[in-house]
Amino acid sequence: MMDTAAAEQLAANLDSERRKILRLQIIFGPWWRHYTAPHEIRWTLWAERSLCPYCSSPLPAPSAAPTEAAEQDPVVAAAHIDHMDPLSRGGADSVCNAIYVCAPCNMAKGRKLFVRWLSQLDATRAAAARTLYEVKQGMPPEAFVPGRPQPRRSIPQLELGLDESVLRRLYPRPVVHGPPKGNVSRTA
């Protein structure tokens, strides 16, 4: 359970990201999830679920205070952003391809293709993870075709700091007409 101060901070972070998403929608239209790096809206991603979709363990907030377990092994206590289709195998660094998971599951999954990872989960967790993949990606995991390694998007989009009215003048229409080419989900 979150204390009041933590809940207020989470609400403020989510509100800030909600405004950022509105700016992304002005720039990229309905395809904004394909062009947005997960770290741009990390609180929104984290708030999607409170349990790891791979093992059902509780997910600590991205900046949660260290616990006793974290003092012994900081990696174990953290929540990680997992690229369901690994960047090293051609997966996109986008919100469509990212979920928060517990550190042990992210470390165990590593660079495995999602289909292979599903085969290592128990049947209930594999079914839930498959559904999550299909909802986020708009396609079954078997449709992913491994490709060249993809870079992480590390440069923040400067436009996100502009006022919405300025963005609407700069971008009267979205700058894209669909998702990027290659392995991408088919949903807006």
Q: Which residue has the higher pLDDT, 168 or 64?
A: 168
Exposure string of 166-179, with b = 16+ CB inside 10 Å and e = fewer, is ebeeebeebeeeeb
Q: What percent of the chain has pLDDT over 90?
A: 72
Centre a 10 Å sphere on the Cβ of residue 97 and count the other Cβ atoms it contains. 27
Q: What is the pLDDT of residues 21-48, one digit of tens each?
A: 999 999 999 999 999 999 999 999 999 9
In 47-88 the beta strands, taken as DSSP E runs, fall at: 79-83
8 Å CB contact between 132 and 100: no
Centre a 10 Å sphere on the Cβ of residue 29 and count the other Cβ atoms it contains. 17
Report, as an integer, the average pLDDT of 73-85: 77
pTM higher than 0.75, yes or no? yes
Is 58 a residue whose pLDDT tops 90? Answer: yes
pLDDT at 65: 43
Domain ranges within the chain, ordered by starting residue: 37-141
Return the structure tokens found at 67.
């616990």
Q: Of 8-12, 56-60, 181-185, which range is least confident?
A: 181-185
Domain 37-141 classification at class level:
mainly alpha
